[in-house]
Structures are given as C-alpha cells and as structure tokens.
Amino acid sequence: MKLLELFNSTVPLLEQSFNYRLVGRGGYNTVAYYGNRNDKIPSLMVMSMDNKPLAESDNFVVITVKPRIAFKKAQEKDKRNGVAYSPLSAQTALINYANSEVEPQSLQYMSIHSDIFNIKEINGRGRMFVYMTTTLGMSVGMFERNLGEVPEIDEGYIDVYGARLFFPENMRPKRKEGFVDLFRQLHKMFYAHSFINLIAGDVRFVKLTGNTLGLYYLATNDIRIKPTAQANNRLLFTMIHEHGHRYWYQFSSEEARKTVRETFTQLQKGGENYVNPNEDSIKQRQQDFYDQIEIGSTVNYKGRKGAFKRHTPMTVKNKEGGNLYLKSGIRDIVAASGSAAAFMNNQWDFEGVEIQPVEDHELHTYGQDSEQWFPTQYSMQDPEEWFAELFALYIMDNLHGKPKAFLETVLRS
C-alpha cells in the first residue's frame, strides 16, 4: 500500500503509545502516526532513506508535525508565497516527500513552514532509537514493534553507576545536572542498603500524562520520569518507588511476593487504614480560615480559570456547614462555591484573611518518618504499590517499627 492510500483510507488505528497512533507497519519504508483521531495530517513520520525497510535501515528522516498550528495557519495567508496555506497541501507535501515524488518542492514547502514541520536527518540506528524513545517519548516496546530491534548503543545517555539516563534534546544542562545529582543520591542510598544492582537499567525523561511523576515498564524494564518534575525529595521518593517495582519483578522471590499479597489482604480485612499525620493541623487551619471569613467581604481570584477571572472581584454571599458561596461581581449569580478547603490556596485572596496553604508534602507525606502499615494514601492501592511505597520509605530511612521489620523479612526471603 502506498502512503497516499494509507492516509486517505479509514485504516483502523493499529497501536497507540502516548501521542502516537500508528497507521502503517511491517515492511514499510515509512510509518506515520496520528496525534489525534481527527487530525488531518500525521504528527510524526519516520522514513528510511536507503530504500530498505525501516527495521533494516541505517539512515532516517524523522518529520514531526504540529497539526494544530497547521490548522490555525489554514486560515492565514502565507505572505512569502502569496498562497493560502491549507492542511491539505501540508498533507500532500508530506506524502510526496515520503513517496520521493517532487521531493525538492515538498521539502521546500516544509522548510518554509518550519513552525509546523521539523525535519531531522538521523544517521545510525542507535541515534534514531535514542531520539524516538527520549525526545519523542515513544515507548521502547512500540519502537521494537514498528521500527525494529533495539540497537546496542554507546552514546546518547549519561551513565550514573550503571543507570543509563536518557534526556530529551532540548533539556537545559542545569536541569540535567539536577537529575544526575538525584541519581547519585539514589545510588548512595541503594549502596547503604546493599541494593547496588538495582540501579543498573534505563531511565528515560519523557512526557507522562496527568500528575504522574514516574512509571516502571515491566516489559522493557525501564523507568520513565517526567522531565518537567522538580528535582526534589518527592521526586527522589518517586524514583526509589519505581525501582521498588523493578525489585519486585527482577529480584524478589515468588514466595516474598506471596507474603506481601497475603499480608496486604489481611491488613485491609482487619480495617487497617492510612492516617495522615498532619490531619489535625490541616483541619485546624481549615477551621481557622473558615472562621475568619465574613459575609459581604471582597474576594479576588488570581488564578487562570477564565470563568472565575470574569467574575472577579467577587463577594462572599454566604457560608454554611464549611462551604463558601461567592457571588459574581458582574452578575447576580453564585460564581464559585465549594468547601472552604478548596479556596485555601494562593489563587484566592480573601480580604483581610490570612491563608496558610496546605503544602503538597503535608498531604502526601512523602519521605516523612512512619510506623504505619499503610504509610501513604497510595500504598493502599494494591499489594505491589504497597511494597513499592514501603520500599521507598525504607531506602530513605523513614520506615520504622513493625512495617520495617516486615519489609526486612520480605527482602531477605
């Protein structure tokens, strides 16, 4: 099948990995990925440049496309060309280029619209692999299935005591250093607890969806960390947690895993629960905040939500049972309401009221000393997550009492 047919047909999406939805594979010299179901043009195209199938090729062109900017541009006139831009011509340029027809024009077209197309020539499978799986965030599994075997590589990463850290191309050196430092700390901690083998493996700094800071991929034994994360204690905790998953699958015995699963079930049956040690302090501050608020006083919203911004400054219309009702400054409606706690952040400014916001570490209690069987809210998720959370606290020397003794037994068995 030629690429043109591929683009225009209603081939079902074959596979999805983060932003990539594949529309062609196997024996092709080119694969294309759509970012969204409704996109008119692919957001990524990979081509072999030596007439070999992708899996055997050594020379590639990788084109990334920003379909949304392309769509925006469709309504503008391209001044340099005097030609109206259209997604259709963008698609044609891509297809022509991929099919090696009228290549110079297509290439020229794409270079003119460099805000939409990023064309990158890559020599060597190793470099292609690093670029695809790091800067473009494709999973290693998807790479293997679509683009061929994972190559041996000896560049494109930073080695920290056997951990290979892969950073996206555009990451600032300062940021990289921060992450590398964190890994040095991690290594020290593993060393102190005789887990030196655990750090050896791949870690990729790639985009993750939502609030996720880290992920462990069982199939390819690699860890992913959000590249925009702050290199702080919370991230250190997350990284150890992900290594805990690696330990669970690569190093622990079936017997040990069985013990963890059974104990987890017993504890939950027995009604064991996570209790936030900061709960009293948080509740007290919420009460203090609520008590200070006067009906009729002015409230300024400083956040980014358009719906709230439009109605600010608001006034307190009512308070009842711990809830606040804020009246719009422009229309006679309640523009914002909810528990007082929801307003206790730096987006809201209540006239004459002091807010002591609840910090992330108070809510999630990462890296705080604990003797609880379920030391974090997340540890109640399932046996494996429980193990990973206990493991992280243990490695950071924050786990004490009975759960510590239990974990040590598990790690020995």
Binding site for Zn ion (CB under 5 A): 385, 388
Q: How far is the CB of 143 from Zn ion (least distance, A)?
A: 23
Q: Is the N-terminal amide bond of 42 cis, ω within 30° of 0?
A: no
Instruction: Classify 196 as helix, strand or coil.
Output: helix
Cβ distance to Zn ion smaller for residue 129 or 264: 264
Q: How far is the CB of 364 from Zn ion (least distance, A)?
A: 14
Phi (first) and psi of residue 65, to 5 degrees? -125, 145
Cβ distance to Zn ion smaller for residue 335 or 388: 388
Q: Please check whether residue 295 is in contact with residue 276, taking contact to mean a CB–CB distance below 8 angstroms.
A: no
Q: How far is the CB of 201 from Zn ion (least distance, A)?
A: 16
Q: Where are the beta strands (DSSP E) in 115-218?
A: 117-123, 158-160, 163-166, 201-205, 214-217
Helices (H), 193-305: 233-250, 254-269, 279-292
Q: Distance (Å, rounded) from C-alpha 25 to C-alpha 282? A: 54
Cβ distance to Zn ion smaller for residue 236 or 388: 388
Q: How far is the CB of 206 from Zn ion (least distance, A)?
A: 17
Q: How far is the CB of 347 from Zn ion (least distance, A)?
A: 30
CA-CA distances (angstroms) from residue 168 to 17, 117, 210, 218?
Answer: 17, 18, 19, 22
Residue listed under structure tokens 């079902």: 12
Q: Distance (Å, rounded) from C-alpha 41 to C-alpha 32? A: 9
Cβ distance to Zn ion smaller for residue 343 or 394: 394
Half-sphere exposure (CA, 13 Å, Cβ side) for 206? 25
Which residue, judged by CB position, is nearest to Zn ion in the bound state?
Answer: 388
Q: Please check whether residue 183 is in contact with residue 160, taking contact to mean a CB–CB distance below 8 angstroms.
A: yes
Q: How far is the CB of 385 from Zn ion (least distance, A)?
A: 5
Q: Distance (Å, rounded) from C-alpha 373 to C-alpha 401? A: 9
Q: C-alpha dihedral over 219, 222, 224, 225, to 10 degrees? A: 150
Cβ distance to Zn ion smaller for residue 246 or 317: 246
Cβ distance to Zn ion smaller for residue 116 or 388: 388
Cβ distance to Zn ion smaller for residue 202 or 385: 385
Cβ distance to Zn ion smaller for residue 351 or 384: 384
Instruction: Classify 299 as helix, strand or coil.
Output: strand
Q: How far is the CB of 208 from Zn ion (least distance, A)?
A: 12
Q: How far is the CB of 380 from Zn ion (least distance, A)?
A: 13
